[in-house]
Structure 1
Amino acid sequence: MLQGIHHVALICSDYQRSKNFYTQVLGFSVLAEHFRAERQSWKLDLALPDGSQLELFSFPSPPERPSRPEACGLRHLAFKVADMASAVAHLTACGVEVEPVRTDPYTQRLYTFFTDPDGQPLELYQTPVVVVD
Structure 2
Amino acid sequence: MFKSINHVAIICSDYDRSKHFYTTVLGLEIIAENYRKERKSYKLDLKLPEGGQIELFSFSDAPPRPSYPEALGLRHLAFNVERVEHVIEYLNSNGIQTEPIRVDEYTGRKFTFFSDPDGLPLELYEI
CA distance in 2 between counterparts of 1:122 and 1:8 reads 12
SS at 2:86's partner residue?
helix
C-alpha RMSD of the superposition: 0.9
Find out whether 1:86 has 2:54 as its counterpart.
no
**Contact kept in structure 2, 1:42 and 1:57, CA below 8 Å:** yes
- In structure 2, the partner of 1:37 is 37
Q: Secondary structure at the match of 1:38?
A: coil
In structure 2, the residue matched to 1:61 is 61
1:52-93, Cα deviation, whole Å (9 max, x unpaired) = 110000012211121326111111110000111111011000
Aligned-pair identity (%): 58
> What is the alpha-carbon distance in structure 1 between the residues aligned to residue 123 and residue 93 of structure 2?
17
Find the residue that maps to 2:88 and give its secondary structure.
helix
Which ranges of structure 2 fall in alignment gaps of 5 or more residues?
none
Q: In structure 2, give the amino acid aligned to 1:11.
A: I
Question: In 2, Cα distance between the equivalents of 1:73 and 1:106?
Answer: 23
**Are the aligned partners of 1:103 and 1:109 in contact in 2 as well (CA < 8 Å)?**
yes
**Structure 1 match to 2:2:** 2
One-letter amino acid of the counterpart of residue 106, structure 1: Y
Matched residue count: 127
Q: Which amino acid aligns with 1:41?
A: S
CA distance in 1, matches of 2:93, 2:5: 30
> What residue in structure 1 maps to residue 49 of structure 2?
49
5+ long unaligned stretches in structure 1: 128-133
Quick check: 2:99–2:113 contact (8 Å CA) kept in 1? yes
2: CA distance between counterparts of 1:51 and 1:68?
Answer: 28
Matched residue, 1:70: 70
Runs of 4+ in 1 over 2 A off after TM superposition: none
Matched position secondary structure for 2:107: coil
Letter in 2 for 1:100: P
Letter matched to residue 49 of structure 1: P
